[in-house]
Chain A
């Protein structure tokens, strides 16, 4: 996407201005001209990100009524509430690109829009609240911090707000696991078993390897994405290893070891067939997640309509008063 001298003459003034903004590391704002493909890519990415936050409320919402203490329950509720908030920030950002929320909802329900596959895994134990915070939110932070500098202004601003809130999520998860690891042998086993299940899916959150990720290159040229999937995954693994040592938890990968030459940890091949299976709708909870979202939306319809009817009447009354006076 860098401006090539001989190419400049062929660009329209609008295209040239867009290229100039991208090259200068400036930001594109809602009412600027932008290529259709850029707009489409952003709508896809931001709406899917929003859906992930909203669907992501379910695996943890599952444990609110069963949290082991009032403190943990309050924390979990705050976290799930944050996720609702993150979804709303992102829906607003997507909306500035000319798609409305009803349409995004339709796309989620019909399966036209995806959300992060990680939320299709179930949460059978309390330790999963720890693993989600530490591994899933940890991977999300790794992915999201560079998105704060995304070339599309509203997306970057939403991400900045989200990242500020997300670090609490990761720390509370780490603390849940730490407490279990300081507990009875059963509690330690529960923590280890949970990490065994979440580790690989968390690593897959960064998306397929670079050579199988055709859209990445264009997204990086547009400065929506700043680092490749594999680079981010490596960064995440490098951060995890010392944290796992503090926890006293073993990361379930026999090939995981420090590579002096590269200055990074080497890690084993991931089972991408599992990733594609879940993506294709054959994960543990795909159908349940979408059905629950649909039901919540439909059950809330009367509230939205009643509030709208009340507002309309109030507006009408006020307008009437204005005319009368």
Chain B
């Protein structure tokens, strides 16, 4: 399965996906991608490219070619199981509406 933005082996430097933790207590979130020869340079490039204004306290990089994704063509079936299972949401239970602290 190909990865978004993976250019294969044609370019000199491989593509890396960058994830940034914007502050303590928050998850790393995908910020974008960049080219770098190895993981050390990828982290440095990510610092220069994605945190020029103190946008992050921690950076993850991962080779784009190492990411496995769900099959976009099977989107419907793959994500079907929650359909019709509204009982998984608190809003499904209306009897308790006027009861305090519920």
Contacts and interface: CB of A to CB of B under 8 A. Distances in A.
A310 B34 contact: no
Main secondary structure of the interface of B (DSSP, over half): loop
Most buried by A among B8, B37, B41, B72: B37
B37 A308 contact: yes
A294 to B, nearest CB: 16
A92 B11 contact: no
B35 A101 contact: yes
Nearest to A30: B4
B4 A96 contact: yes
Contacts of B10: 100, 102
A175 interface: no
A102 B37 contact: no
B13 A308 contact: yes
B11 A89 contact: no
Contacts of B48: 81, 85
Contacts of A315: 38
A315 B15 CA distance: 16
A220 to B, nearest CB: 26
A29 B41 CA distance: 28
A307 B72 contact: no
Contact of B12 (A30, A85, A305): A305
A71 interface: no
A102 B11 CA distance: 7
Interface string B19-52: 0000000000000111101100100000011001
Contacts of A314: 38
A291 interface: no
A82 interface: yes
Interface in B45-85: 48-49, 52-53, 69, 72
Contact of B32 (A30, A32, A161, A311): A161
A31 B4 CA distance: 7
B5 A304 contact: no
Contacts of A82: 52
Contacts of A304: 12-13, 37
A307 B11 contact: no
Interface residues of B, number: 22
Contact of B13 (A158, A161, A307): A307
A78 to B, nearest CB: 8
Interface string A21-41: 000000001111000000000
A308 B49 contact: no
A158 B5 contact: no
B49 A85 contact: yes
B33 to A, nearest CB: 5
B5 A307 contact: no
Contact of A310 (B7, B8, B38, B49): B38
Given A31-B69, A308-B12, A100 B34 contact: no
B32 A92 contact: yes
Contacts of A307: 13, 37-38, 41
A161 B11 CA distance: 26
Contacts of A311: 37-38, 41
Contacts of B38: 307, 310-311, 314-315
Which 7 residue pairs are nearest across A and B when measured between Cβ atoms? Answer: A311-B38, A307-B37, A100-B7, A311-B37, A30-B4, A31-B72, A96-B5
14 contacts: A30-B4, A31-B4, A88-B34, A88-B49, A95-B33, A96-B5, A101-B7, A102-B10, A157-B32, A165-B53, A310-B38, A311-B38, A311-B41, A315-B38
Given A89-B32, A96-B4, 5 more contacts: A30-B4, A88-B49, A92-B33, A101-B7, A314-B38
